[in-house]
Amino acid sequence: MDNVDHIALLVAWLAFGLAAVFGAVAHRVDFCTMGAVTDAIHVGDWRRMRMWLLAMAVAIAGVALLGSTGQVDFGKTIYTGPRVAWLSSLLGGFLFGFGMTLASGCGSKNLMRLGAGNLKSLVVLIVLAISAYMTLKGLFAVWRVSALDPVRFDTSAIGASHSDLATVVAALVGDSSLVRSGLPLAVAVALAAFALASRDFRAARTMIVGGLVIGAVIVGGWYVSGHLGYVAEDPRTLEEAFVATNSGRAESFSFVAPNAYLLELLMLWSDQSRILTFGIAGVLGTVAGSAAMALVTRTFRWEGFASTEDLVNHIAGGMLMGFGGVTALGCTIGQGLSGISTLALGSVLALLAIVGGCAAALKYQYWRVEAGS
- In tens, the pLDDT along 38-60 reads 999 989 999 999 999 999 999 99
User: Would you place residue 272 in the very low, low, confident or very high pLDDT band (cuts 50, 70, 90)?
Assistant: confident
Report how far residue 58's alpha carbon sits from residue 56's, in angstroms, rounded to the nearest whole number: 5
Residue 238 has pLDDT above 80, yes or no: no
Q: What is the pLDDT of residues 279-323, one digit of tens each?
A: 999 999 999 999 999 999 999 999 999 999 999 999 999 999 999
Coil, helix or strand at residue 154: strand
Per-residue pLDDT, 2: 66
User: Would you place residue 1 in the very low, low, confident or very high pLDDT band (cuts 50, 70, 90)?
Assistant: low
Per-residue pLDDT, 239: 85
Angle at 335 between CA 334 and CA 338, to 5 degrees: 60
Residues above pLDDT 70, as percent of the chain: 99
Per-residue pLDDT, 178: 78
Structural domain count, the chain: 1
| 241 membership: H or E segment, kind and range | strand 241-242
Per-residue pLDDT, 373: 59
List alpha helices for the chain, DSSP H.
2-29, 33-38, 47-68, 86-102, 107-115, 119-137, 139-143, 165-173, 177-196, 199-203, 205-223, 257-267, 278-296, 308-327, 345-372
211: alpha, beta or left? (left if phi > 0; alpha if psi -120 to 50)? alpha
Rounded mean pLDDT, 82-98: 98
Q: Over the chain, what is the mean pLDDT?
A: 95
Per-residue pLDDT, 174: 79
Rounded mean pLDDT, 163-177: 88
Residue 235 has pLDDT above 90, yes or no: no
Q: Which domain holds residue 280?
A: 2-372
DSSP 148: I
Rounded mean pLDDT, 145-155: 97
| pTM greater than the 0.85 cutoff | yes
Residue 94 has pLDDT above 90, yes or no: yes
Q: Can you say whether the dihedral through the CA atoms of 7, 270, 321, 210 is positive or negative?
A: negative
Per-residue pLDDT, 32: 94
C-alpha dist (Å) from residue 302 to 27, 119, 283 = 16, 7, 20
